[in-house]
Amino acid sequence: MQRDFNIFSGIYIAIIVLISIIVIGVSGYMMIENYTFSEAFYMTIITISTVGYGEVKPLSDTGRIFTAILIITSFGTFAYAITAITSYVIGGFYRNYYKIFKLNKEIEKMSGHTIVCGYGRVGEMVASELKDHGQKFVVLERNESRFTRLVETTKWASLRGDATKDENLMKAGIASAKALITTLPDDAENLYVVLTARELNKNLTIISRASKSTSVKKLKIAGANNVIMPDKVGGVHMASLVVNPDVIEFLDHISIQGSGEIDLEEVAFTDLPDNFKYQTLGELEVRNRIGVNIIGFKTSSGEYIINPGPNTRLIPNSKLFVLGNSQQIKLLNRLLGIPPKK
């Protein structure tokens, strides 16, 4: 926040110096020329503002020397004050400061949100995807220029600060957050964020970026639930477009949670209506009733089953993975009473 401090301190200094000159001018005219307070104040103002009005009363030689000194010292102060205030108002800092103030108030009320650490290329994509899926999130960025761009170009909740420091994670609401994604370019910093976040919130879902394969195991030991290597994922994806182009293009058309033509939705046991719970997939008949396909099932023990059979029973802590077009997913959400994604 060094730039913020410099701008504010510049304005404060300009105001203090300006007031000091007015006090000196009023006191000087009252002592040297025996002016009343109103006469001395008026004479001081027209002098330091160089408007060119006539003298209140004829000045003595001492008074003229005092006036000349007052003009010389006040001219630079006025220019400095105008420059400082112009930078604050016209430069957009005031507007951004007010915007940040409002966002900070919103962050204080947040719960069940995701904290995105870092607003580089990966972090920006993460935040954009979360926004598209109607998820609440806070972006934590320490770089001044990237943070300024974030504030000026988006309405996303954001904070300026170092994600490796406990106090900044606390400001981002880590105690009430549901997930944290750290996308910092340095693996050591990501490791520190993971360790800190896990200490502050034991139940937090933590996803970390990694640049080196040797860092993956360390990040998981530190407490990360998942570790992603963007370069590796991108390389595998490009190679797969050569080996299985049609399969990969089809998968690229599948969107997560209702934002595309073909959607993949996860349905937790707790999201199901009471009359759906503890039933088998065959008893639900969602394929016949809605048209969606149940392509996966996660058991209560965390095991994944591809194309689960009709005898698979829905029990606590289990999840369904459902594939369908956007209209079918909307019908499913209405059936389950799940509000539409924003």
Structure tokens at 68: 């000349």
Q: Which residues fall within 8 angstroms of residue 101, CB to CB, at 6 or more apart?
A: none
Q: Which residues contact 165 (CB under 8 A, 6 or more apart)?
A: none
161 DSSP 8-state letter? S
**Cβ atoms of residues 257 and 133 within 8 Å:** yes
What is the band of 91 on the pLDDT scale with cuts at 50, 70, 90? low
Q: Where are the domains of the chain?
A: 2-89, 110-233, 246-336
Short-list 335, 187, 216, CA closest to 267: 335
pLDDT at 9 over 70: no
Q: What is the CATH number of domain 110-233?
A: 3.40.50.720
Cα gap 206→221, rounded to integer Å: 12
With bands split at pLDDT 50, 70 and 90, how would you rate the model's confidence at 5? very low
pLDDT of residue 250: 75
CATH number of 2-89: 1.10.287.70
| Tokens at 185, concatenated | 């370019």
Residue 293 in this model has a pLDDT that exceeds 70: yes
The CA-based angle 203-105-5, given to 5 degrees, is: 110
pLDDT greater at residue 106 or residue 337 = 106
Provide the pLDDT for residue 80: 72
Paired strand residues for 139: 116, 158
| pLDDT at 3 > cutoff 80 | no
Radius of gyration for the alpha carbons in the chain, expressed in angstroms and rounded: 32
Kindly report the CATH class assigned to 246-336: alpha beta
Q: Tokens representing 118?
A: 């870092």
What is the arithmetic mean of pLDDT over 164-171? 92
**Within 13 A of 316's CA, how many CA atoms are on the CB side?**
0
CA distances from 157 to 217, 306, 311 (A): 32, 38, 45
Q: What pLDDT, on a 0 to 100 scale, did the predictor assign at position 114?
A: 95
